[in-house]
Amino acid sequence: MSTDDNKALVRRFYAEIDAGNLDAMDELVAENYVDHHPPPFPVSPGRDGLKEAFRLFWDATPGSHQIEDQIAEGDKVVTRLTATGVHRGDLPGAPATGNQMKMTAVVIHRIEGGKLAEKWSDKDELGLLQQIGVLPPLGSGG
């Protein structure tokens, strides 16, 4: 696959998530997928764990991903994105608040055999936890 094909694969991955089409993960993600920055709650390994996490987030925080930038080299794609949504359902340790959410992230995917094989990410988790009421906003003294 070319670097343009790899970037298109990552864009399709986020588009399918935004559409709630988690069945597409079977086509887009390797069965032995490795998430080097998994969610902060237990999930199964591999593609099944990815599907579990996205099913939970889709139900609790429906929203979308806006891809801001993509850079690809070899078998890796770096994507800078902004995710937005509403915290309408419970997450582990975070009951639903109804709050609007916005989180930025930089994600690196490695592609193997035309599928996403590995992921590394750096997300604004502190900001997200503040937005859903798990942590107080900075400077609030609370």
* Kind of pairing between the strands at 76-86 and 100-112: antiparallel
For residue 93, give the 3-state DSSP assignment: coil
Domain coordinates in residue numbering, the chain: 3-131
What is the domain class of 3-131 according to CATH? Answer: alpha beta
Per-residue pLDDT of the chain (142 residues; tens, 9 = 90+): 899 999 999 999 999 999 999 999 999 999 999 999 988 888 999 999 999 998 999 999 999 999 999 999 999 999 999 999 999 999 988 999 999 999 999 999 999 999 999 999 999 988 988 988 888 887 766 5
The residue assigned the tokens 């800078």 is 80
